[in-house]
A = this chain, B = another copy of it.
């Protein structure tokens, strides 16, 4: 299917590459494609510039947010939390109507350093904020609980014997995302319920950011919900 991935960071690149590998038609959305392509230096995490990445992934195209949704069955929000609402706004409410939006972002406030705080929690979530802003979109929260390479290839850790969460109000949208997760290699996919349960999935990140440094700092871990 045609899938639009919003965001050119590590999460966007990793998800886009995996979807491309799985023979989906992938377009990456960004605010200003010309500016993105003009950058020739690695980013602050040492990742290669987007132009190099695109050259290595000829099946994937880059476009402005406003141009990515046409014909896409799925829109993946792989921007950072603070950029999510502006990115979806740039995609446009009309373009988002009836579309499945897989929200991977976390509402992290990095302004006070590490570990970050969450700027929404308990009585709301980023996923619900996006859903309220675009009531006709079909928002599903998933994959925000682990690092990018494990999102798309859980088998890289413990043979895939760990868990991923799915939250959303639209059963068919959740099923589409669940099918995609299975294609990534996920076997233990826990349906937490309606989109408000994304509060739990997002607040778990407060533990993730504290586990990360004591487990080697690479993010190569995840939780298995044992029951």
Chain A residues engaging chain B, CB cutoff 8 angstroms = 115, 117-118, 121-123, 157-158, 161-162, 165, 190-193, 197, 199-201, 203-204, 206-211, 213-216, 220-227
Contacts and interface: CB of A to CB of B under 8 A. Distances in A.
Contact of A199 (B165, B190, B206, B222): B206
5 contacts: A190-B211, A190-B214, A192-B214, A200-B206, A223-B225
A157 to B, nearest CB: 6
A192 B221 contact: no
A207 B203 contact: yes
* Copy count, this protein chain: 2
Contact of A222 (B118, B162, B226): B226
Contact of A192 (B200, B211, B224): B211
User: Chain A interface mostly helix, strand, loop or mixed?
Assistant: mixed
B227 A226 contact: no
Contacts of A222: 225-226
A207 B161 CA distance: 19
Nearest to A162: B226
Contact of A158 (B204, B208, B226): B226
A200 B211 contact: yes
Contacts of A225: 211, 215, 221-223
Nearest to A219: B227
Contact of A221 (B193, B210, B216, B226): B226
Contacts of A206: 121-122, 199-200, 203-204
Nearest to A193: B214
Contacts of A200: 115, 206-211
Q: Which 5 A-B pairs have the closest CB atoms?
A: A200-B210, A221-B227, A203-B206, A200-B207, A223-B223
Contacts of A161: 226
Q: Which of A161, A165, A203, A208 lies at the interface centre, i.e. has the most chain B CB atoms within 10 A of its CB?
A: A203
Nearest to A206: B203
Contacts of A197: 210
Contacts of A123: 117
A167 to B, nearest CB: 8
A123 B211 CA distance: 17
